Amino acid sequence: MTVRLPLLPERQLELDVDGHKVSVREGATLLDACRALAIDVPTLCHAPNLTPVNACRICVVELEGARTLVPACSRKAESGMVVKTDSERVRLSRKLVMELLASSVDLSTAPEALAYQARYGADPARFGLAAAPTAAGEREHRHAGEHVEPEPSRAATVAQPVKVDNELFVRDYGKCILCYKCVEACGSDAQNTFAIAVAGRGFDARIATELDVPLPSSACVFCGNCIGVCPTGALMFKSEHDMRAAGTWDETRQNQTDTICAYCGVGCVVTLHTQDGRIVKASSPHDSSVTDGHLCIKGRFGWGFV
């Protein structure tokens, strides 16, 4: 016999953020509390449709009584907490995160990251001139745990040639901040395909297919959900990549139109991005109750017939 317990009322928690009292439901994060107060806490590895992984640490805040800064995106709110989101210690930490990222990764197609860099006055040049890009495949062949000695006068980078091995999307891991979002979207947070994972250790850690095979030879089903969550443009529609290379990509001339995918009866919301009357890529809103921001290969890439 199943015993049904009456539903308990949702418990509210009271805390103090930057001197303001805020009340959030039990289970909310410090980021939720900050957003309830319209406090802009930067995030890179967080997404509303993915499990927090605490990889980037740009969202750290100061919590009274805690020895270290805590990641707002995953730290659960508790009653009585006193939080500071813009103290000198917080700003210094965020600045250092951006300096380390910007000295090692090409952020040119990551507008949010560039805005954070400017907001915190991060100077990536402190680490010296960037080291030369590695040759194609070189990073993939480094063994886990064996690090190449850094050249002390140069800032180590993840620069390397773009991987173009299919007609749908490219992978430019010289732009990868290792936020894990693509791995989560490919895995149990959305697609459950597990075509990609993090390989290697430390600075040599990188996103890889099984045995580093090209994407078409891997388990990838080309849903493009990894592109949908990538915050830096490391994963990009081939259409966008080619237009950028030709100098014709211009977001100021682009429109977005929500429609319903016509391929099956699920009814996924598809946002068509158009430039000069032509579709240039497709996405789905994160807050769609049907897709949660994710699509299949047909919704993501099957617009060529339009």
Q: Does 100 bind ligand FES (CB under 6 A)?
A: no
Q: Does 268 bind ligand FES (CB under 6 A)?
A: no
Cα dist from 3 to 6, 9, whole Å? 10, 18
Number of Cβ atoms within 10 Å of the Cβ of 225: 29
User: Is the Cβ–Cβ distance between 42 and 61 less than 8 Å?
Assistant: no
Site for ligand SF4 in 162-201 (CB under 6 A): 176-182, 185-186, 191, 193, 195-196
Of the candidates 154, 172, 175, the residue with the CA atom closest to the CA atom of residue 163? 172
Closest to ligand FES by CB, 43 or 283: 43
Give the DSSP letter of residue 232.
S
Q: Does 222 bind ligand SF4 (CB under 6 A)?
A: yes
CA distance 62 to 41: 12
Determine the interface stretch with ligand FES among 53-61, 207-215, 232-240, 292-300 (rule: CB under 6 A): 53-61
Which listed option, ligand FES, ligand SF4, none, makes contact with residue 91 (CB within 5 to 8 Å by class)?
A: none
Selected from 20, 35, 54, 205, the binder of ligand FES by CB under 6 A is: 54
User: Is the Cβ–Cβ distance between 205 and 198 less than 8 Å?
Assistant: yes
Q: Which two tokens stand for residue 102?
A: 């910007």
Which listed option, ligand SF4, ligand FES, none, makes contact with residue 224 (CB within 5 to 8 Å by class)?
A: ligand SF4
Q: Does 57 bind ligand FES (CB under 6 A)?
A: yes
Selected from 15, 39, 45, 261, the binder of ligand FES by CB under 6 A is: 45
Q: Does 47 bind ligand SF4 (CB under 6 A)?
A: no
- Taken in order 174, 177, 178, 183, is the CA torsion positive or negative? negative
Q: Does 71 bind ligand FES (CB under 6 A)?
A: yes
Determine the interface stretch with ligand FES among 39-47, 107-115, 233-241, 289-297 (rule: CB under 6 A): 39-47
CA distance 140 to 207: 9
231: left (phi over 0), alpha (psi -120 to 50) or beta: alpha
SS3 281: strand
Selected from 226, 236, 268, 269, the binder of ligand SF4 by CB under 6 A is: 226
SS3 202: helix
Selected from 170, 207, 269, 280, the binder of ligand SF4 by CB under 6 A is: 207
Closest to ligand SF4 by CB, 36 or 162: 162
Q: Which two tokens stand for residue 30?
A: 């410090």
User: Is the Cβ–Cβ distance between 231 and 112 less than 8 Å?
Assistant: yes
Minimal distance in Å, beta carbon 47 to ligand SF4? 9
Which positions lie near ligand FES, rule CB under 6 A? 43-46, 54-59, 71, 73
Q: Which residues contact ligand SF4 by CB under 6 A?
A: 176-182, 185-186, 191, 193, 195-196, 207, 220-226, 229-232, 234-235
